[in-house]
Amino acid sequence: GQNIDQPTEMTATEGAIVQINCTYQTSGFNGLFWYQQHAGEAPTFLSYNVLDGLEEKGRFSSFLSRSKGYSYLLLKELQMKDSASYLCAPVRENAGNMLTFGGGTRLMVKP
């Protein structure tokens, strides 16, 4: 099975930096996805990490430590449109890439 833990809610200020953490316990780990989901909309892909380290993609970066069962999503230069839920989803090997999502972190960006 999988245990996924991420904060329920976070608040940050426009222009600031925010880090959203995710810890997981999974058998046969095969990488971790981050998705963004605006209220009432479909989740959209942000990043996939399978190796340890930081991957940067514009204002968003994602970090993974396999040995610690830990990942974070880093959002820089926050914009109001970044207000959304951020979903962490580790993948089990031999599971057809089926995603098991955490409960999501609802980020509110304030002016």
Residues lying near other proteins in the complex (CB under 8 A): 30-31, 33, 35, 41-45, 48, 50, 87, 89, 91, 95-104
CA distance 51 to 99: 18
Tell me the three state secondary structure of residue 67: coil
Cα diameter, the chain = 44
If the CB atoms of residues 46 and 74 are measured against other proteins, the closer one turns out to be 46
Contact status, residue 34 vs residue 73, Cβ threshold 8 Å? yes
If the CB atoms of residues 81 and 98 are measured against other proteins, the closer one turns out to be 98
In the complex, least distance from residue 89 CB atom to other proteins, rounded to whole angstroms: 8
In the complex, least distance from residue 15 CB atom to other proteins, rounded to whole angstroms: 28
**How far does Cα 17 stand from its chain's mean position?**
15
If the CB atoms of residues 19 and 97 are measured against other proteins, the closer one turns out to be 97
